[in-house]
Amino acid sequence: MPDNNSSALVCLSGGVDSTAALLRCFNEFEEVRAIFVNTAGKDAPQEAYDSCEKLGIQLIIANAEDLFRKQIKEVTQKLYSLGLTPNPCAICNATVKLAVPFGKLKENEVLVTGHYAIYREGKLLRGKDPKKDQSYFLSLVSKKILDRMYFPLADSIKTSVRAEVIKAKLPYLISESQDLCFSLGSTGKPGKIVNKSGEETGLHTGLDGYTIGQRKGIGAHDGRKFVVEIDKKNNRLIIGDEEDLYTKQCYITDINWLIPPKKTKFTCLAQIRYRKPATAATITQINKNTAEVLFETPQKSVAPGQVLTMYEKNTVLAGGIISKQL
């Protein structure tokens, strides 16, 4: 936790994790405020209001609908139209969900969320619960914001967190958000599905509806096939066998360095998806914002547009966006 902070601003969604963070801050800090970041033109859930009322905590509503539309929805749609597979949640944390409350912090007030992650001595680390660790989603957040943050659930296990909220008789949303919190209509044009030899095997409905590694929704072909490449230039969906999904190399751009490297070439652990284990890789910096990633063993479904997070053991070094080529 940042030093010399006597008050907390808690990001409250109404879910069990943010409600637990609110409860813990109520017991730890002299002054606590809560904030709901409105990204969809809707009021905060009644559960959020009820929890704040029971604890005697002020709930602030921050209108971020326009910012969310410009920074997340429109950008996501554009990236899909370019044949990429973006990670809106990670980008949203960096540019909206944490950036907006950060702008409302008072002096000596710490920004609090219910993320399962650790931030100690200027370093972002994995949370204690390996099934809920969310450091991957925070790797694009600027150090300026992280330096003012506190994660009360850092050393907690999900089951104990839920039990704590239930014992305190605080209401919370039962369902948890697992998918994209907004919908995108397809804007792509139909085109050809081709195999690795360039032979037409079917038709796609628009490239923005597909991602690398996808098997379902591409129609029946000669055997079990996967999307192995999205050819935006020629509006083609290229399919192949499972072995065609593996690659040893990719590039990353827009790197957010939390711990700047001492050398332009170094080894680390690289994680290319939220639920995918990190793997050994060699990073070679091309410049401050771009780098080449060489995996020790070939990785499956490395999708341009996704976040790649670099770790040294459990410590986040940086986060960047996967790019097929520079």
The question of whether 25 is a catalytic residue gets the answer: no
DSSP 207: G
Give kind and range of the element (H or E) at residue 51.
helix 46-55
* Cα distance between residue 97 and residue 222, in whole Å: 45
Question: Do residues 272 and 212 lie in contact, with contact meaning Cβ atoms separated by under 8 Å?
Answer: no
The question of whether 92 is a catalytic residue gets the answer: yes
| Parallel, antiparallel or unpaired: strands 191-194 and 200-204 | antiparallel
DSSP β-bridge partners for residue 192: 203, 236
CA–centroid distance for 280 within its chain:
21
Give kind and range of the element (H or E) at residue 317.
strand 315-323
Residue of 137, 161, 129 whose CA lies nearest to 87: 137
**List 25, 52, 89, 92, catalytic entry:** 92
Q: How far is CA 13 from CA 26, 114, 200, 214, 325, in A?
A: 16, 9, 47, 31, 38
Burial class of residue 31 (count of CB atoms within 10 Å of its CB; 0-12, 13-18, 19+): middle
DSSP β-bridge partners for residue 307: 321
Catalytic residue set: 92, 181
